[in-house]
Structures are given as C-alpha cells and as structure tokens.
Chains A and B, each alone.
Chain A
C-alpha cells in the first residue's frame, strides 16, 4: 500500500513538472511577453521600450534557465537594467539587494510573485483556495446527498413513474451547463425581472460573510450540474444491483422492501458513485471558474481567469500545480476507497 501511494506521488510530481513546463513555455511566447510588458508599464510603449522593459526584468533569457529559476535549481537573476536599477528575482519587497537568497523557487518554498496582483503567489493561492474550498464544501454538502437519494429512489424500481420523472430531472440538470443555469437562476430568483428577490445575484459579500441568501445561488448552480450526473450513475448502479440474485432471494424470503434497499442493496450500489463523486472534484474546479466569474466570487477560478487574461506567468503556474495535485489526489483517494468498498479489488 505504501509503495502504491509513493508511486502515485511520484507520478504527481512528474505530471506537475511536465504541465508547468508546458504552461511556462506557452506564457513565455514573445507576443504574450510584449503584452505583459504593455499591460504592466504603459499601453503605448514603443517596441524598443518593450524590449528594454523585458530585458531589465530578465524575460528575454533562455526558457530553460527561466524555468530552472522558477523550480529553484538555477540561481535567481540579478540584472542591472538599462535604466541603472538593479533588479533581482529573489529580492523580496523591502529587502536590500545585498542580503537576498541565491536560489528562490518552488523547491525553496517560493512560488513567485503575481504581476497582476503584486502579491506573493503563495499568499494569493492560499486565500483564493480557501474561498473556493468553502464554496466546494457547500456544493458537496448539497450535491452528494441529493444525488444519492435521487439516484437510489430512481434505481430501486426501474421504469416506474418515480424513476422516469427523477431521471428526466437528472438529465435536464446535467444537460444544462453552469453558464446557462447560473444566468437563469439569477434572472428567476434575484432580479426585479420576476420580482422574486429571494436570493442575491452576486456572491461578493459571501467572501466575508457567507449566508444562505448570498451563497445559495452559486452553490446550487454548481451542485445542480453534478447532481444530475451522479444521480444517473447511482441509478444505473442501483438498478443493476436490484436485479441480482441475492436481492431476489431476499424478496422471496419476504424481507420488507425498505430493508432490502437499505440493508442489502445500498452498499453495493454505492461503489460506482463513489468513484464518480471523487472524479467530480476536478470537474468542480471547471464549474467553479464559470460560477465564480458569474457571481463575482473571488476564489481560485476567478484568480485563474485574471491570471490568464493578464498573462500572469507565475500565478498561472501556481494554479496549474494546484490543479494537478487536486486531480491526482482525488484519484488516489478514490482508488484506496475502492479497495475498502470492494474487497475483490486490491491495489498492489
């Protein structure tokens, strides 16, 4: 088991390294660097000024060297610029140029500095991930029980009216992407258009003080999408279990229907949905980008959009690492969890 986990962590590090290099390469393409210089300094800069700006900050060097600096295996640059100012990668705000560290990269625990927010990438990710974490937590709290109940109810009597209506609902919500359902929900429940101002159409105040009123719509927008999907999976799995021999035997023995569902079918029916739920975490990150933008909730998804539109290299790298870790960690958990739920499978 231990060696399995170690192997997985190794894969995670390798994937992160490959992915960040790809991101690094793409964000360091020369038109994007020009764009960065212009948004940082002055939109009307001449080409010569752009070159000088990039040169002064070490952007014009070999990509492997720059990537090495970010990882922390190549010493950080110290450049005396054309304007006579000495700039160094490892110089923290307020630090004198003499006592800066030689290496400063991810290996040293330094995630770089965001050009968009003028703040350490580590701090930004911490705050923003925290906010997204709160959002995801409530999404899970709403989504998982709702989906399982829907799925089990629909799957225990296949083709019944209950099954048909719940399935229609589930397919409907899965087929509606967040950017559609979010807008519809706002228009219905938070605007003067219908007059039903039950909730708030923006979650900006929820960053400081989440309440039912300002947090319900973003949570339900993400949850609806996932609910339908998980409910379908649960239904399929439940329906299959309900046709197995041991359930039939139990019924013939005269066991009450609810005891069959709860006592006999449920555990086996939940094996497949468990994997699906774990896979939902990375999927949620997707939905979070859209929903945070729509509801103006400033979590990691919003930071990602801001970083991408401003070509904020180090923040993009930081967020990609978060993405890789999230995907592989949830997969690891789902694999290990599977072993406990289904004794027929082992990891080694």
Chain B
C-alpha cells in the first residue's frame, strides 16, 4: 500500500472526541461510536482514550460468507455515467463500475483502481499509478490507456449533461470543448501523467465523485446496465421505481479481495418504497428491508424506537447565516462595518442553534466553514459568546437602533435555525425582523439578500468551498466579502496538494474569516442510517455512497 493517499493516523475530530470523553462530555460508548464512524479501528479508538480494546472475534467482525441485504432506496433510471445527477445512480452501478479513488467518512481518499498517486508541490503535475492485476469482467486487464479514455470522456464539455466537465475544468480547452492537447500523457501501461496548465488540488476529490465511474472503452452510454466493469457485482435487474438487484459475478476474480478483502454478500436488493418515510417504517416493521438509504427528520427518532442499529456521520454540510456586506438598506450599507458583523457573531451561541434548529443532530462549527473532516482543518481557539460586549460593539458602530431583517427559506431546519439566531440577537438587544420566503422564490436572489441563511453541501476539501463562495467576485460569494489578503492566502492554499502544509495557510484563512465576522456558520449536519442487527459494516457515508464490498451480514 502506498502512503501517497494521505492517510492520517488519527483524525482530528477523533482526537477532539477523545478530549471531550476525558472531560466527561461524551460517554465511552458515544465516543467509540463517533470515533469508529470516523473510520478509526476500534482498537485504535480505545487507544486514543488510554484503554485496551476488548478481545475481538477473529472471524472478520462476525461477517459470514454470502447472504443478502435488502436496502430501501429510490431506484432511478440509469444514464451515461458522467451525467449522473443522483448519488443513487452511482450506488446502482458501483458494484460493477468502480472508481479511481474512494472517499471515506474520515475525509481520506483511498486508492481503488489507482494504486497510488503523486502530486508535485504546486499541484500542476499528477502522476497516476494504475493498479496492476485489475481485470474487466470480459477478461481484459485494466491499463493506463483505459484511464486516459475515461478522463478524455469526462472532458467532453459539450456533451449534454456532462457534470464531470466541471470537475475537470483545468484540463479542458475552452475553444474545442475537449481535453487540452498534451495534458494527458500515457507513460506506460500502468502510469499516467497529467500536466495541468494551472494548479488544481481538487482532481483526486473529483475522481471520487459518483459521476466518475470508470468504464471500458467499448462502453455504450445507452446500456449502462450491462456495461463491462471491474467490480465484483453485476446489476442483474433494474425496474425503475421498483427494484434493482446486484449479484456476485460468478466467474470474476476481483482485484480487491487480495487488497481490501470482501466482497462478503452474494446479493444486494434495492427496493423502492417511494419518498415518504412512513413507507420505509412499514417496510422495517414488515421485515422487508434490512437497511434504509438515509434516515431523515422525525423518522430518526421513530426508527430509534424500533430495534435497529443507528449509524451517525458528521458531514461537512452546513448552513450559513450571513450579512451581505455590499447590500444597501435604506440608502446605506449596514454590514460594511466590521464591528456590526462581529457583534452579530458574538451575540449568537452556535450550540443553541444546533439544539433548537437541528435537534442536536450534528456538531458545533466555528464560523469559518472548514471542519474536522476537511483534511486542512486547523482547530482555532474557541470564540466567546458575549451578548453585552456585542451590544457595546453595535453601539460603537452607531447601529444599535437598526432593525435587521433576516430572510430564510420556508422549510423545517433552515427556518428553525434562522429563527433561533434571530432570537439570540433579540436577547442581545438588537432589533430583528424575520422574513420567511417560499422555496419557489427564495433562490431567485439568494446571494443578494442583506441578511439571510443558505444551506451548503459538503465538499471533500475545505478550500473548495472557500474558492466557490469566499473569494472576491465569485458568483456564489453571498457574503459580498472582498479581501485581498484572504484571496492571496487562498491562491497559495489552492496550489498545495499536501494537506499538512496547506493546514498552516488554512489556519490563517480561518482566523481571518472569523475576525472579519464574515458569517455565522453554526454547525455541521449529521447524516443517519438505520439497519437491522444482522447488517455489518454498512454505516452511513458522508456523500451517500454504498461500498458494497465492505458490507456483510452476521451468520
């Protein structure tokens, strides 16, 4: 195994949990659940809190050979892999069409069809080493030419609905809408070089995304179901909206058995129970499924009441409640003043927002939009909530009498979280008005509202979000923030592939975003999945991926 995949021994969040456990804020059980859900082995997790792991059975977590798992998931029609727009599509084909790298819950990337990769210091030259011994199910060996074929396919920007083109942006020649000449170099059968015109550290993350399934050069986009693949499972049945079935390929020697172990199951059935979770509940109670794709809303508590196993995973999905510094209200720009923004931030206790807005289903964030699962996350000293000082700052800025209007979309958690923030601001003595807009009109102007909340999905790298939303002049910069110092920090960070080196710069950026009071970013959301007791090693995944080869059932 190569060390180039940026494995870390301990995840920072796990260390944080260990600290919390020692301070008595987390029970041992809760700590173990969280630490192991971050991908830390149970033994290592026990080690973190200074205990010895209890003896484990030697039969591989009690998984038996064979078996079936039935999963509730919406079964969607397949299309060209690069145009996938739902993670469910990736799950339907992942057993057959595998990926170059696999994104894991602890934020690490694990090499799959790649054996390892090297990135030079300014992230312009990628060397991809293709795993040897991987075979397509028609018997062909997987080679670097096949990978080059796939990357070229992703770079066809004019292909209808090709979302991989966005992830491969630096490789694409705008005039031809194809990959730039000379970017991809096939060195030999198992080595591939990518020479980029500009630095790009997000390519590996892009390779792990669900539209980046690796297909054979003979791939026919209109018959994705029967595509030639490298994986251990074959999609044998697909009835859109009804059912999809994956079965072990009978005569296929899968590369991963020797590398990562598995696959354990013979068969995986996806059964579509519609979008209404009460149907999933009925399915659990009728013992027709062993697992749901995702447990949502109040049904998390309902499923807890049944005899089910819950897995929780903190994601980097979040909400920001932010003032827009450029927005004009009654002829002035109330949020251009740094003191006003700092006062808003200082008056709001993020843990209260997590509790009232999202039922404590997540972990508290630090107002800078980089979190524990991002590889470059650097912990900063805790910010203090001081409502009195906040009011003083506001008075100093001469804005104590100003009425803040906070907008949010009309839904459950986003509205509640914004309500909680408004209540906190009122407690500090500020005048606050809440406006709730329906979903059909909210998004028309979401970047321009003077003060509003927006939900953000997680991305593997913290700097990806900064580049999208915090850099000056970006289309999604809803903060109206423009800061030359931050821009130059970000530019440096975006050309450092090594997460440890990038962390030093990220720490400065994080501090700057906090200090400027750019936004209130209260918490990271958790995702949940319930399974029956017999299901082993099928926890929730940060980006909803199903890694079938890890799954098993107890005997």
Stretch at the interface among A136-144, A198-206, A228-236, A256-264: A198-206
Q: Bound state CA distance, A186 and B271, in angstroms?
A: 20
| Residues of B contacting A: mostly | loop
Asked whether any CB of chain A lies closer than 8 Å to the CB of B273, the reply is yes
Asked whether any CB of chain B lies closer than 8 Å to the CB of A27, the reply is no
Decide: A118 and B242 in contact? CB cutoff 8 A: no
Decide: B285 and A190 in contact? CB cutoff 8 A: yes
Decide: A191 and B161 in contact? CB cutoff 8 A: no
> In the complex, which residues of chain B have a beta carbon less than 8 angstroms from the beta carbon of A246?
none
Set B160, B242, B286: member contacting A83, Cβ < 8 A: B160
Q: Bound state CA distance, A201 and B288, in angstroms?
A: 10
Decide: A202 and B241 in contact? CB cutoff 8 A: no
CB distance from A56 to the nearest CB of B (A): 9
> In the complex, which residues of chain A have a beta carbon less than 8 angstroms from the beta carbon of B288?
200, 202, 204-205
Asked whether any CB of chain B lies closer than 8 Å to the CB of A80, the reply is no
Q: Bound state CA distance, A42 and B166, in angstroms?
A: 14
Decide: A41 and B161 in contact? CB cutoff 8 A: yes
Set B240, B279, B285: member contacting A197, Cβ < 8 A: B285
> In the complex, which residues of chain A have a beta carbon less than 8 angstroms from the beta carbon of B282?
186, 190-191, 200-202, 295-296
Decide: B273 and A204 in contact? CB cutoff 8 A: yes
Set A117, A207, A296: member contacting B77, Cβ < 8 A: A117
Decide: A118 and B283 in contact? CB cutoff 8 A: no
Q: Which of A83, A117, A202, A214 has the most CB of B within 10 A?
A: A202
Set B77, B161, B279: member contacting A42, Cβ < 8 A: B161
Asked whether any CB of chain B lies closer than 8 Å to the CB of A192, the reply is yes
Asked whether any CB of chain A lies closer than 8 Å to the CB of B85, the reply is yes
Decide: B285 and A117 in contact? CB cutoff 8 A: no
Asked whether any CB of chain A lies closer than 8 Å to the CB of B305, the reply is yes
Q: Bound state CA distance, A190 and B285, in angstroms?
A: 7
Decide: A202 and B305 in contact? CB cutoff 8 A: no
Q: Bound state CA distance, A53 and B161, in angstroms?
A: 11
> In the complex, which residues of chain A have a beta carbon less than 8 angstroms from the beta carbon of B161?
41-42
Asked whether any CB of chain A lies closer than 8 Å to the CB of B306, the reply is yes
Decide: A43 and B286 in contact? CB cutoff 8 A: no
CB distance from B471 to the nearest CB of A (A): 21
Decide: A191 and B285 in contact? CB cutoff 8 A: yes
Asked whether any CB of chain A lies closer than 8 Å to the CB of B261, the reply is no
Asked whether any CB of chain B lies closer than 8 Å to the CB of A306, the reply is yes
Set A53, A116, A202: member contacting B286, Cβ < 8 A: A202
Q: Bound state CA distance, A93 and B226, in angstroms?
A: 14
Decide: B305 and A192 in contact? CB cutoff 8 A: yes
Q: What 0/1 pattern do residues 174 to 213 of A give for CB contact below 8 A with B?
A: 0000000000001000111000010011101101000000
Asked whether any CB of chain B lies closer than 8 Å to the CB of A66, the reply is no
Decide: A201 and B274 in contact? CB cutoff 8 A: no
Which residues 482-516 in B have Cβ within 8 Å of A in the complex?
none
Chain A contacts to B: CB under 8 angstroms? 41-43, 53, 83, 93, 116-119, 186, 190-192, 197, 200-202, 204-205, 207, 214, 293, 295-296, 298, 306
Q: List 16 A-B contacts (CB under 8 A).
A: A42-B83, A42-B161, A83-B158, A117-B240, A191-B281, A192-B305, A200-B285, A200-B286, A202-B283, A202-B288, A204-B271, A205-B286, A207-B242, A296-B274, A296-B282, A298-B242
Chain B contacts to A: CB under 8 angstroms? 77, 83, 85, 158, 160-161, 222, 239-242, 271, 273-274, 279, 281-283, 285-288, 305-306
> What 16 additional pairs, Cβ within 8 angstroms, besides A117-B240, A202-B286?
A43-B85, A116-B240, A118-B77, A190-B285, A190-B286, A200-B282, A200-B287, A201-B282, A201-B285, A201-B286, A202-B273, A204-B271, A204-B273, A204-B288, A205-B288, A295-B282
